[in-house]
Amino acid sequence: MTHISSVMNVCNKMGVKFSLDDFGTGYSSLTYLKELPASELKIDKSFVQGMLEDPDDLAILDGVIGLAMAFRRSVIAEGVETVKHGRMLLQLGCELAQGYAIEHPMPADQVLAWIKVWQPDPSWLSANPISQRDLPLLLAIVEHRAWVDGMNDYIHGKQDTPPVLDGHKCKFSRWLYGDGQQVHGAEALYGKIEAIHSQVHDLGRVIVAHYTNNNQQELHKEMDNLYQLREVLIYHLEELLLFSKRRH
């Protein structure tokens, strides 16, 4: 470690900078972050690609970004393949990324022309970092997506049991009846979110009954309704997030 660090320091003096690649997996270590003079962390794409559906991946991302800030390193996210991924990373405070959402690989002689005309997606321009106070709300959005994905996996045989059908016991409800109720309970948007969440779980029980009875036509119809409710609920959650940011 001492030898590698000394070599890197010499290179730094020559203007050569280093990134710690695939941070969070494999041989990456907090010791590397402490001992090696790398100016940048690259978050492994496996966490980035799962961040919209897996609250654990989102929590890991938030933790790595926090570590980078604490150690005064810049941070870049690998594998940003959709606009939604880029927007959520910006909300977490990560402003550097690589991936297909920005551009596909290109020959070196095309890069300068591309730089002159490239523009970020409009939704990225309005995606300011959220505070730690609002992070539970962002996690709640991901947890709701994960619940709907779990229902889809269940009816397609990818998991043996459906997601939690009791609306007071799912992961989303921990935010809804905990931090969400405490912080936002008096707001009209909270009431809308609570009502839609109840509808989601009522519909979930109907879907499980159709699946059990092999009512395929009704099953697909109600799954379409579930996807629509998911989008409405996420829309209101994002509204609440914007309201919270303006209020504070």
Is the separation of the CB atoms in 222 and 203 below 8 Å? yes
What pLDDT does residue 242 have? 84
Residues 86 and 49: their CA atoms lie apart, in Å, by: 10
Same fold, 2-125 and 132-247: no
81-132 pLDDT per residue, tens: 999 999 999 999 999 999 999 999 999 999 999 999 999 999 999 888 888 8
Domain locations along the chain: 2-125, 132-247
Residue 117 CB neighbours (<10 A) = 6
Please give the pLDDT value at position 28.
61
Question: Cβ-count burial of 231 within 10 angstroms (0-12 exposed, 13-18 middle, 19+ buried)?
Answer: exposed
User: Residue 41: what residue type?
Assistant: L
E strand or H helix at 40: strand 40-43
The third-level CATH classification (topology) of the domain covering 132-247 is Four Helix Bundle (Hemerythrin (Met), subunit A) (1.20.120)
pLDDT value at residue 30: 77
Report yes or no: 233 and 197 within 8 Å, Cβ to Cβ: yes
Place of tokens 């799912």: 170
40: closest CA among 17, 59, 60?
A: 17
Q: Which residues of the chain have pLDDT under 50?
A: none
Check: CATH 3.20.20.450 for 2-125?
yes
Whole-prediction pTM? 0.82
Rounded Cα gap, residues 20 and 173, in angstroms: 37
Angle between helices 135-155 and 83-92 (to 10 degrees): 150
Whole-number Å distance between alpha carbons of 225 and 75 = 39
- Number of CB atoms found within 10 A of residue 55's CB: 21
What's the confidence (pLDDT) of residue 27? Answer: 62
Helices (H), the chain: 2-13, 30-35, 45-50, 55-70, 83-92, 111-117, 122-125, 135-155, 171-174, 180-184, 188-212, 216-247
